[in-house]
Amino acid sequence: MRRNKLHSAIHIFGLAIAFSICILLFLTAYFHLSFDSFHRDKPQLFRTSRLINSAQGTEMSSQMPLPAAAALRTDIPEVEAAIVVNMGMPENFSYEEKNIERVVVRTDPNFFDMFNFPVLIGNGSTALSDFQDIALSETTAKAIFGESDPIGKELKIGRGDDVEYYTVTAVVKDCPNNSSIRFDAVARIQSLPNYAQLQNNWGSNGSSVFVKISKNSDLQKVAMKLEPFVEKYYPDQLAQLRSGRSDVQKSSELLSINLTNINDIHFSGERSSSKLLVYALMSLGAFILLIACFNFVNLNMANSFKRSRELGVRKTLGAYKGQLFMQLWGEALLLYFVGFMLGLGLASQLIPVFNAQFGGGIDISALFQPTFLAIMIGVFLLVTLIAGGYPALKMANFNLVGVLKGKISTKRPGALRNSLLVSQFAISSLLICISWIAGQQLDFLREVPIGFEKEQVISIPVGFQQDGRKILARMRNELQNDPNIVSITGTGGNLGRGLDKVTVRSVVGFDYKQNQVSADWLLADYDF
């Protein structure tokens, strides 16, 4: 390495860059593929969803009515447990002089028995025994109570006259980043506003329903039992769908309930990540590493002619081919190890920037997960064996007499080396073209007119502690004469994600001229 400083530096620098990019892309893929993998009974856990085939087209929704969970437990013997999970919206938490906003998930009392969210204080099995019990996440508990024991303390949730009192019964470890279910607090479904009106309403779909299928159950048989289940509990919806689709006879072709395993939830739904994209990221990392490997092989083969006399002398002094191979491969292994460690260090430094730029959600601690470390070490050994082993084998097999007579030819590099060179430049060109096209697309997304000048609009989150309409009226009175302000308005949610990290999307379904319509709903004031 000291004798060939430039040669070594090109190897180490190229490998470090390739390994760092590969690690970042593999970490992103690992993060997405590991979603919900921490649940102990994941092969048995499923989320239900409705597939509707109306005259307007096919629509898939994971939103289910509240009574569906109890009906599934009763009607299908293979369903060991079924619970409702209502993801909820940010609500105002009050305790003494403190007021914070947090998201409350409302669910059934066996929530912590079905899912493996670690309970740090209290008992998960009894945490939601009473209708007004509440379990807090670790961060939420510290934000409200500091270091004092929160168990048994009373919380007020809501604003104005519309408040409910809850007793803290447990503290749960914060949801991991790779969880589809996220919460700041967990309460009973019975504490949901308008629960009395919704508990037997099969036409109101606003919650997720998760089921646990008993071990060794045939999923196909369970799916078959869901067909009569739909006919029993959805007669009005089926009649409405039939009126627009007279050509369809079977109920299951109009409305069906499907089961999605919890491992696949992250990749299902219109706003979910695509598994194909995850595999594309892994392929991209592999291609970049492949370019570095090709470069290593080509440079080593080119450099081998400089070392031919050294190898010839070693052979003359009694070195075997195996010894030469191990020496040359050991040199390659050392170069790869230095490049790998530098790449690992570079990747760990780039993770925060990478997350900020691409919303990756990956954590530095994921670098040291046993599974991920095993994958990366396996990749490292495979790459060194192939990319370092081939040049070492080729050089170890040089003809002794030819080497000492200086008859090693440099005019015919061989079909393999030519193939590597062509492949290296072809893959590089492909990635450059992809990067250029992706850059153009991102520029388009940033510059396309969106209907308002975002630099001129300030969004102020009011929160749930105060009445937003009253705040808006006060602001109009105070600021209407300010020449710098063109107009003032209010909406029920941010346009996108605000500085308070909250975004709201409401979808409403209604019937119009015997057609089912689904539309985004935004509450807005005049001047909007």
The angle subtended at Cα 460 by Cα 456 and Cα 463, nearest 5°, is: 160
Q: Does residue 412 carry a pLDDT above 80? A: no
**Res. 328 pLDDT band, cuts 50 70 90:** confident
- Comparing CA positions, the residue from 61, 209, 185 lying closest to residue 128 is 185
Q: What H or E segment, with its residue span, contains residue 513?
A: none
Q: Does residue 1 carry a pLDDT above 90? A: no
pLDDT in the model for residue 459: 85
Q: Does residue 125 contact residue 101 with C-beta atoms inside 8 Å?
A: no
Q: For the segment 176-217, what is each residue's pLDDT rounded down to a tens digit?
A: 888 999 999 999 999 988 888 888 888 888 889 999 999 888
Query: CA 500: distance to chain centroid?
Result: 21
CA dist 257 and 61 (Å) reads 10
CA dist 241 and 514 (Å) reads 9
Q: What is the largest CA-CA distance in the chain?
A: 99
The tokens describing 181, both together, are 């279910």
Q: For the segment 147-162, what is each residue's pLDDT rounded down to a tens digit?
A: 889 999 999 988 767 7
Q: Does residue 411 carry a pLDDT above 70? A: no
CA end-to-end span of the chain:
67
Q: Does residue 464 carry a pLDDT above 70? A: no
- Bridge partners for 518 per DSSP: 509
**Res. 304 pLDDT band, cuts 50 70 90:** low
Q: Does residue 136 contact residue 91 with C-beta atoms inside 8 Å?
A: no
Average pLDDT, the chain: 84
Residues in contact with 91: Cβ distance below 8 Å, sequence separation at least 6, in sequence order: 101, 102, 103, 104, 157, 158, 464
CA dist 255 and 248 (Å) reads 11
Instruction: Count Cβ atoms below 10 Å from residue 47 Cβ, excluding itself.
Output: 23
Share of the chain above pLDDT 70, in %: 89
**Rg over CA atoms, the chain:** 31
CA dist 226 and 210 (Å) reads 14
